[in-house]
Chain A
């Protein structure tokens, strides 16, 4: 059976990894290729690059970044942030990305999912969703523009719609949990895994090793994504996988 994936996420601005990564002695703590190679060595199953560049030049740089990383690092690479067209996806896939994640642009124009899936196959199209629990409406609201703008969409329904349109994977961030280090939003992922039959990556809330075990055992997600706990060496991927394995979760 498939191994559960542990996925570090790198924020990239103008081709540089922001905040740096200091779990090993890198010559350049912001160099995407060095960081990706270090994570490959540590046993990461996949890398997500989130382009947070606010300018066009910055977004062009991500293509060069992926080109450079894919020449030295041989594992699946997903790129999200700033993808607004099929051409953006094509440029990144050509550069060596395996998947691109669409978020706000897909909310504004759901056809983007359909077009991407038709042209490149569903396996290349990840729908990224930022979700926040709304107790009054009794639903998870979808947010766009980096979590700054609330939409009327229900995250579970939006996930179903995205999959129906051809998304081959969901990368779902819990805004309630993101940055809290209090564990993944298990209820959110339980609902999602019941609603759709494509791989789901959980994101937001990883603080300790137990959090990974909990989300894999309680919700049938396929991968767990984290940033700071790995970047700052609070957890190693090997330690996380060691505990998962002890708890009967299949890891590589």
Chain B
């Protein structure tokens, strides 16, 4: 069972719609027990970092997600959900994140001749061997964001070139972050979600 963590952020239902369309068993919930019993977790999100962390805190979800990560449950953060996995964000001051992957969330520089937000279809390039990076290598996917993650190269498995190299997929053991929206990226996006399901079933990713 894939659990989509429900913390009252926008777009959660679009992730659910995509999983339903693919007939992948899933539940949208904030229930702590169900989250810790899940085979795989999706942390969706659009909007502001601080508001999202406030929502997670209100539901006492921060330690639950951290525990799930420690227990080896495969976790996929999408867009803002990816950014939340990191130590902190510089969006509207400084806000601490979940601290699961080292790094921070910084603004896309506006002085590079690019428009901000980074909105639209951009082409991914795999920079490390990785199951999801393979699905999305050389493929256009849909991005909408004004901030991106600055993290250790070792964590970055795919990037897009937008004046700066923006990490589009990051991975650390059982925790994965995707900056774009697979649920809005047509066939290739759906293929990525199917791959996530396969990874859940793959023993290598159950690292208890």
Contacts and interface: CB of A to CB of B under 8 A. Distances in A.
Interface stretch (A14-22, A120-128, A176-184, A226-234): A120-128
Given A74-B184, A75-B186, A123 B162 contact: no
Interface in A165-205: 168-169, 197-199
A211 B62 CA distance: 51
Nearest to A220: B115
Given A1-B162, A121-B46, A96 B13 contact: yes
A222 B120 contact: yes
A71 B17 contact: yes
A104 B117 CA distance: 24
A8 interface: no
B117 A168 contact: yes
Contact of B17 (A76, A96, A223, A252): A96
Interface residues of A, number: 29
B184 A75 contact: yes
Contacts of B115: 197-199, 222
Interface of B is mostly: mixed
B21 A3 contact: no
A94 B184 contact: no
Nearest to A72: B21
A169 B17 CA distance: 25
Interface stretch (B81-89, B142-150, B169-177): B142-150
A76 to B, nearest CB: 5
Contacts of A197: 110, 115-116
B20 interface: yes
A1 B161 CA distance: 6
A2 B142 CA distance: 9
Contact of B120 (A70, A94, A223): A223
A98 interface: yes
Contact of A199 (B20, B21, B120, B142): B120
A74 B119 contact: no
A215 interface: no
Interface of B: 10-11, 13-14, 17-18, 20-21, 46-48, 110, 115-123, 140, 142-146, 161-162, 183-186, 189-190
7 contacts: A40-B186, A45-B120, A75-B142, A75-B186, A121-B10, A122-B146, A168-B117
